[in-house]
Structure 1
Amino acid sequence: MPRLVAVCAVHQLRPDAGSLGVTAIDKRALEGSVRIGPYGVRSDVQASRKHHGGLDKAVYAYSAADAEYWESELGRDLYPGWFGENLRIEGLDVNAARIGEVWRIGDTVELEVTMPRTPCATFARWVGGRDARGWVKRFSDAGRLGAYLRVRRSGDVSAGDAVEVVRSPEGAPTVLEVYRG
């Protein structure tokens, strides 16, 4: 059964060379029960609301298996939240999720898959060092993007909660298919 490994929110805003001068990509796991509402995880923020957040990008989910892949590739530990994700999920191929698919986490929260993450220059700068060069293309080519979700039902979740796919629209494109066009 798929499960929630961690719920993450911004740890601190970081200076960034991009046009805003700051990024909220530095997310970390929260302890205990965490509220998820229409605009995402309570206490989380997005520095660029033009490209992140809002109702259709309220929550960003990333797979534990994909994080392990990148740990091997980059030769370093990539803690929950490192990808800027709000939810680290184990046992579910997030990139194979269908657009419109509905997930239940814990007893009450329902999320709907809306779109893939599009990697950007801010993410490349976050990766840093020798790995930053060509990062956007490398991340894209690997097809380990993660998914944005809309909140259909608010509630509280905790690490360890079950993640259940309650509806998957037959014939709808997957997250990866939408990204690759």
Structure 2
Amino acid sequence: MTSRDMRLGSPTATSGRSRRSWVASSRSARASTPRSPAIRNIVPPRCAPTSAKTSNSRKITPMSETPTASEGDQERRVDDLAAARREIPRPLAGSGGLISSINVSHPGGVPKRPIDRTVITTRGLIGDGQRTKAPVHGGPEKAVCLFGVEQIARVNADGHHLYPGAIGENLTVSGLDLGGLREGDRLRIGPAESGPIIQLSEPAAPCKNIAGSFEDWRIARVSHKVRPEDSRWYARVLREGPVVTGDRIELLGAADTIGQ
């Protein structure tokens, strides 16, 4: 027996103890030794349990599960925005204003330049042209385009740069709330006996051709879906006739009352 065996207490150093009993007693001693609580409770940081609900907890949705708005959803949001705006007072039949400016351009395009007088026909104003043909611009359903002086003032208050004819309207009117008009409304211009009668056909959708008049090209400022009170209107011509700057323009009513 070596001195090392005596120090370690091996089976050869213990008289009458077998190797098996020595191993068994060693295991029993290790099992009876209490583990330090600090060691027993150590959990790797990445595996540490977390409470299901904490005051600052927040559900994180994977990018693959994040819903995206479809084109239909975006259109509905625009429609909801328009519906949420204040109701625009509707002008009464018999109310009206004045033709502040008559605007034409040949062969077409914007801006349109003011003239003193012309004739309104079913194909548009004499002296006016359209670079883009119907149905985009012009044609019987878009023979005349109207916009208001009051609308121009509101749009310019938002930092834009409009003036009569800048965004392509043929008739710039004052004193008549175009924002309160509806498709099918009829307007008479000038004398009751001979003046032209037009009927609103649809709002004029803004296009890139007029973008230069808007700060940061924000043409949606005159979109009927976004700002119906400041949209331009297209009109068909029910009765042809002359128009002079300063003529009265009067709301007659909807299409179902014509002739009454």
TM-score normalised by the chain length of structure 1:
0.77
Residue 100 of structure 1 deviates from its aligned partner by 1.2
Q: Secondary structure at the match of 1:73?
A: coil
| Structure 1 residue runs without a partner (length 5+) | 14-22, 171-181
The structure with the greater share of residues assigned to strand is: 1
Question: Which amino acid in structure 1 is aligned with residue 247 of structure 2?
Answer: D
C-alpha distance in 2, partners of 1:105/1:157?
7
Aligned to 2:221: 138
Tell me the C-alpha RMSD between the 2 structures: 1.9
Q: 1:169 to 1:154 in 2, by over 3 A?
A: closer
The question of whether the paired residues in 1 share the 8 Å contact of 2:166 and 2:210 is answered with no
Aligned to 2:73: none
Q: 1:62 to 1:75 in 2, by over 3 A?
A: closer
The alignment status of 1:36 with 2:123, answered yes or no, reads no
- Report % sequence identity: 29
The question of whether the paired residues in 1 share the 8 Å contact of 2:160 and 2:213 is answered with no
Q: Secondary structure at the match of 2:157?
A: helix
C-alpha distance in 2, partners of 1:157/1:6?
10
Aligned to 1:154: 240
Q: Secondary structure at the match of 1:74?
A: coil
Aligned to 2:196: 109
The question of whether the paired residues in 1 share the 8 Å contact of 2:222 and 2:232 is answered with no
C-alpha distance in 1, partners of 2:103/2:159?
22
Runs (4 or more) in structure 1 with deviation over 4 Å come to: none
The question of whether the paired residues in 2 share the 8 Å contact of 1:98 and 1:169 is answered with no
The alignment status of 1:2 with 2:97, answered yes or no, reads yes
Residue 95 of structure 1 deviates from its aligned partner by 2.7
| Structure 2 residue runs without a partner (length 5+) | 1-95
Residue 138 of structure 1 deviates from its aligned partner by 3.4
Task: Select 2:142's aligned residue among 48, 53, 57.
Answer: 57
C-alpha distance in 2, partners of 1:121/1:158?
30
Residue 74 of structure 1 deviates from its aligned partner by 2.2
C-alpha distance in 2, partners of 1:61/1:117?
9
The question of whether the paired residues in 2 share the 8 Å contact of 1:95 and 1:147 is answered with no
Q: 1:169 to 1:150 in 2, by over 3 A?
A: closer
Greater C-alpha radius of gyration: 2
* Equivalences, count: 154
Aligned to 1:71: 156
Q: Secondary structure at the match of 1:122?
A: helix
C-alpha distance in 1, partners of 2:153/2:220?
19
Residue 52 of structure 1 deviates from its aligned partner by 0.6
Q: Secondary structure at the match of 2:158?
A: helix
The question of whether the paired residues in 2 share the 8 Å contact of 1:36 and 1:157 is answered with yes
Range 79-88 or range 137-146, more displaced: 137-146
Q: Secondary structure at the match of 1:67?
A: helix
The question of whether the paired residues in 1 share the 8 Å contact of 2:184 and 2:199 is answered with yes
Deviations 1:134-161 (A, max 9, x none): x133332233111000011111111111
Residues 14-33 of structure 1: pairs in structure 2 closer than 5 A: 24-31=109-116, 33=117
Q: 1:88 to 1:73 in 2, by over 3 A?
A: same
Question: Which amino acid in structure 1 is aligned with residue 207 of structure 2?
Answer: C
C-alpha distance in 1, partners of 2:97/2:123?
24
Residue 70 of structure 1 deviates from its aligned partner by 1.7
Q: Secondary structure at the match of 2:236?
A: strand
The question of whether the paired residues in 2 share the 8 Å contact of 1:27 and 1:86 is answered with yes
The question of whether the paired residues in 2 share the 8 Å contact of 1:102 and 1:111 is answered with yes
C-alpha distance in 2, partners of 1:75/1:152?
34
Residue 167 of structure 1 deviates from its aligned partner by 2.0
Question: Which amino acid in structure 2 is aligned with residue 4 of structure 1?
Answer: I
